Structure 1
Amino acid sequence: MFALPLTADAELRPLHPWQAQEFLAHLERAREHIAPWVSPAFVATDLDSARAVLQRYADRSARDAGGIWGIWWEGILVGGVMFVSFDAALGICEAGCWLEPGAEGRGLVTRAVERVVDWAVGERGIQRVEWRTNAGNVRSIKAARRLGMTRDGTLRQVYPDGAGGRIDLEVWSVLAAEWRARG
């Protein structure tokens, strides 16, 4: 297994189904913080559902259609990044992230996303990286800006919000030439 350093005390590693117990323990710490912003199917509530989440991403990875990596800070899983979708033939992917509150403010998500986008653009020839987020998710929008992404627009009332309303989804992106030109 590989580990990529993010800081002196943090690293990025693949997340696998065999790590479901560690993933579930992390989600217990992060659940309230991330639940408003991620798919309910992602926020596992027991070992079987945690394993299922990680297996879905393992299956995507096996099909070259996505992937998931964890962020470990001081040896503890505190968040991660993923390719929700990945299509090398079309040259487009969607990146996403999550982080528990105790790990915020350290630049971990920015560094982790930079690592996977560098790989996608540099090694796989991805031409467009998308970032889709609930229009109310201020932290995610700030991350998109830090990553040099441009707001493409808003998909209005695209998903139910679970409370009888609907959410707007902002679409951000960075093109390969823009990514390479970042200094």
Structure 2
Amino acid sequence: MFSTALADDAHLFPLEPWYAEEFLAHMDRGREYIGEHIVLADVVTDPESARGFLATYAQKAAADSGRIYGIRVGGTLVGGVLFRTFDARSGTCEVGCWLEPAAAGRGLVTKACRILLDWAFHERGMHRAEWYASAANKKSLAVAERLGMTREGVLRQNHPHRGIRQDTEVWAVLAHEWPPAPAA
């Protein structure tokens, strides 16, 4: 297994199915905060659903169609980032994130997403990376902006979340807009 430093006490690592219990404990700690804008908190509710969710991403990784990574602070899982979709053939992927409140405000998600996007553009040759977020999720939209993404539009009332139709903002960055890889 590998781990990439995000800060002195924070690391990014592949979130595999055998972390299901830790993943569920993390969801339980941050369920209200995480679930305010994304469905993940409503999907991962017990050991079986946690294992199933992570197994889905293990299958996506095996099929080269998605990946999921955890963020640990001080050894505790506090959030994560993912390629919700990854279509190497078309050159388009979607990046996403979640975080429990204890780790918010440290720039960890932005740093982790930069690592994912560097890999997608520089290693895999992707052409476009997308970011979809509830228009009410100002923190997620701020990450997209910090990543240098362009707001492309709003899908009006396209997604029902907890009984309320919400608008979804679409942001994206193209390969030629992404910073070049550092010289070796």
Bin the TM-score by the shorter chain: over 0.9
Q: What is the identity, as a one-letter code, of the residue corresponding to 1:58? A: A
Counting only pairs closer than 5 Å after superposition, residues 103-182 of structure 1 correspond to structure 2 as: 103-163=103-163, 165-180=164-179
**1:124-176 per-position Cα deviation (integer Å, ceiling 9, x unaligned):** 0011000000111011011111111110000111111322x311110000111
Are the counterparts in 2 of residues 42 and 53 from structure 1 also a CA contact under 8 Å?
no
Other-structure match for 1:62: 62
Distance 2:150 2:40 in 1: 27
Corresponding pairs, count: 182
Q: What is the identity, as a one-letter code, of the residue corresponding to 1:26? A: H
The unaligned stretches of length 5 or more in structure 2 are none
- Deviation for aligned residue 1:182: 9.9
Q: What is the identity, as a one-letter code, of the residue corresponding to 1:172? A: W
The unaligned stretches of length 5 or more in structure 1 are none
3-state SS, counterpart of residue 126 of structure 1: coil
3-state SS, counterpart of residue 180 of structure 1: coil
Distance 1:43 1:77 in 2: 18
Are the counterparts in 2 of residues 11 and 73 from structure 1 also a CA contact under 8 Å?
yes
Q: 1:182 to 1:171 in 2, by over 3 A?
A: farther
Other-structure match for 1:72: 72
Q: 1:51 to 1:42 in 2, by over 3 A?
A: farther
Q: What is the identity percentage for the equivalent residue pairs of Structure 1 and Structure 2?
A: 53
The answer to whether residue 49 in structure 2 is matched with residue 49 in structure 1 is: yes
- Deviation for aligned residue 1:43: 3.8
3-state SS, counterpart of residue 173 of structure 1: strand
Q: What is the identity, as a one-letter code, of the residue corresponding to 2:174? A: L
Distance 1:52 1:38 in 2: 18
**CA RMSD between the two structures:** 1.6
Q: What is the identity, as a one-letter code, of the residue corresponding to 2:121? A: V
3-state SS, counterpart of residue 177 of structure 1: helix
3-state SS, counterpart of residue 178 of structure 2: helix
Are the counterparts in 1 of residues 83 and 93 from structure 2 also a CA contact under 8 Å?
yes
Counting only pairs closer than 5 Å after superposition, residues 28-39 of structure 1 correspond to structure 2 as: 28-39=28-39
Are the counterparts in 1 of residues 6 and 12 from structure 2 also a CA contact under 8 Å?
yes
Q: 1:141 to 1:182 in 2, by over 3 A?
A: farther
Are the counterparts in 2 of residues 161 and 167 from structure 1 also a CA contact under 8 Å?
yes
- Deviation for aligned residue 1:117: 0.6
